[in-house]
Structure 1
């Protein structure tokens, strides 16, 4: 057996010796657990994947919040531009545009059907080539 280092006290009784042995066992068990955790590649990879996933989710949430804010800004800007354009147009043009929008809203099903037919005709034409 090896001699204890000079700065460590030796046990003066059997009870102290048992306590030192028990403490050494605890420390050794903790060291073994730490080494086992470091060598568990699968668990470490899973932990890393979970960390990366969490970071990606945080980044996605940030990007989504930025996109929502930017969309609001763009919507407001588009509304301002539309109002500016509308103010500059002569009244007959504005009335015709409003009438056209109203007609489109009233006949949206017909417009959708015509658009769907046009798409189908285009697809048939492209397929025939």
Structure 2
């Protein structure tokens, strides 16, 4: 039993011994912190969730940019006469809608007008979801129609 139980040499002075003890405490503290971090399942799950969210946001940005680029490419390929006709048709539709709105305001009862305006506001607030749902409906309709 003349050798110490560890590989480190024994301290020659009390000062060296204090330094070795302090160094060992620091290492032990770091080890305990590392073990505690590994056992903290909630914190690790939150870190993974934050990482997944960052990846999703980045992917969404990429997809949005790609969609904008594709839309621009498609729009470039549309002939000018078709664009002009579409613009005219859109103008006519807006004009007819405005006329119908005026008739509606004159003839519809107040509670019905209020509920209708609330529904229209809700549709405007959720425009992207409605467009996505309409797109899905069109794709489904085309798929069913194609199978016939």
Normalising to structure 2: TM-score of the pair? 0.55
Return the structure number with greater relative CO, CA threshold 8 A, min gap 6.
Answer: 1
Instruction: Give, in angstroms, the shift of residue 4 of structure 1.
Output: 2.5
**For each residue in 1:42-66, what CA deviation from the matched residue of structure 2 results, as whole angstroms up to 9, or x when unmatched?**
0000000000000000000000000
Q: Find the counterpart in structure 1 of residue 98 from structure 2.
A: 109
**For each residue in 1:86-129, what CA deviation from the matched residue of structure 2 results, as whole angstroms up to 9, or x when unmatched?**
9xxxxxxxxxx79x749826544236789xxxxxxxxxxxxxxx
Shift in CA distance, 68/45, structure 1 to aligned 2, threshold 3 Å: same
* Matched pairs, number: 98
Shift in CA distance, 13/34, structure 1 to aligned 2, threshold 3 Å: same
Structure 1 stretches of 5 or more lacking a match? 87-96, 115-129
Q: Find the counterpart in structure 2 of residue 41 from structure 1.
A: 41
Normalising to structure 1: TM-score of the pair? 0.63
Is the counterpart of residue 55 in structure 1 residue 55 in structure 2?
Answer: yes
Shift in CA distance, 13/77, structure 1 to aligned 2, threshold 3 Å: same
Structure 2 stretches of 5 or more lacking a match? 104-148
Aligned partners of 1:20, 1:103: CA distance in 2, in Å? Answer: 84
Structure possessing the higher radius of gyration over alpha carbons: 1
